[in-house]
A and B are shown apart, each in its own frame.
Chain A
Amino acid sequence: MAKITMTVNGRQVSGQCHDRTLLVHFIRENLGLTGTHVGCDTSQCGACVVHMDGMSIKSCSTLAAQAAGSEITTIEGLAANGELHPVQAAFKANHGLQCGFCTPGMVMTAVDMIRRHGGQLDEATVRAELEGNICRCTGYHNIVKAILAASAEMGGARVAAE
């Protein structure tokens, strides 16, 4: 057992865990943040996606020890002051979820995708970027719609700010 310290959703946290403990288990069990899901356990489904130092990663394929000292953002860290993040709001408005199990990973992936593409996304790019996220309910259609809507809104907000 070792003591691991990292910043999660802006707060410095620490906890005792084994060297083999996966980041997703540290987040869920040590920190009680159960929004991040374990879907497949074989590194394919993307339900566990969080951001480490600003980049989307699979927390089921990363050790908590690897993340020590880093800045982690989970789905719980997106909404600010009781307001949904634009991507969360777009998933709600476009019915981008059914059972909701994959949704935390989808939303974290979408936020990362929109950031990297600077709000310039088209449908083909969104579908290609969703390679690592599996949804068994929606057929992806409304997820893609939600991401495009959020991207347009966030891109527009950036232009307005400039």
Chain B
Amino acid sequence: MYETHYHRASSIQDAVKLKQAAGEGKYLAGGMTLIPTMKQRLAAPTDLIDLRHVSEMRGIKVTGKTVRIAAATTHFEVASSAELAAVCPAICGLASHIGDPHVRHMGTIGGSLANNDPAADYPSAMLALDATIVTDRREIAAGDFFTGLFETALEDGELVTAITFEAPAKAAYQKFANPASRYAMAGVFVARRDNGDVRVAVTGAGSSGVFRHKGMETALSSNWSPDALANVPVDASDLLSDIHADATYRANLVKVMAKRAVAAA
């Protein structure tokens, strides 16, 4: 790891100020991607601004059906929140299968979203739940937030502070995990609103990162059942191909995971 300077932020304002004062600085949440990347010398931030001690960035608040998860809340905290499980168990289930127990004790929802790994789980939930990403300066709809592989709408120095969404009537997430890394080779989050609106978001498979599958959304809007997806085509031309799975195999996985998710919702 290259030399770096560690700073511990005490508030959101403090964190943003520290970041502004830093050269090529980076926010450090759980560090479960950033530190391994720095160890491999693939990232070399001059400064790290640690967010773990910013109390206003921790915790889950459920008011009626409105959910607010502060950005430095860990995967473990999301997975084990009884309050959250009462209104949206799908997101608890998703968090309980990220990485391994040690990663879940450190890794955070905000860190995952800001990194936007194309195989990360949370981006699909944000897109399917029509969540809002709250930053230190504005609110961004999930649909506008994820802009490409490891790319987001965040400006330089902009800090994700929380996410909010309205709990859906039904939702579920299913992923086919890479047997070694446990990242999604295909993960599908389905959500249905009280008014019948359906969203289907796919992670791990898209060559430009997380995406919505409009064909499956239309099919599920008129018939919320796994069978409704039987004849919906999944186009392989925009999907990732690698040594683990080629695009046509991933296209099939997307369909199978979507069916399983609808059955589980």
Binding site for B on A (CB under 8 A): 2, 18-20, 22, 41-43, 46, 49, 52, 55-58, 60-63, 65-66, 68, 109, 112-113, 129, 131-133
Contact = CB atoms under 8 A, between A and B. Distances in A.
Contacts of B40: 42
State the 5 A-B residue pairs at the shortest beta-carbon distance, nearest first: A132-B100, A131-B100, A19-B6, A65-B6, A55-B105
Contact of A129 (B6, B31, B52, B101): B101
B2, B5, B100 — which one has the most chain A CB atoms within 10 A of its CB? B100
Contacts of A60: 39
Contacts of A18: 3
B31 A62 contact: yes
Contacts of B38: 20
Contacts of A131: 99-101, 182
A133 B103 CA distance: 11
A143 to B, nearest CB: 15
A16 to B, nearest CB: 14
A58 B30 CA distance: 11
17 contacts: A19-B3, A19-B6, A22-B1, A41-B39, A42-B39, A43-B35, A46-B102, A52-B105, A56-B105, A61-B32, A62-B106, A68-B8, A112-B101, A129-B101, A131-B101, A132-B101, A132-B102
Interface in B10-69: 28, 31-32, 35-36, 38-40, 48, 50, 52
B76 interface: yes
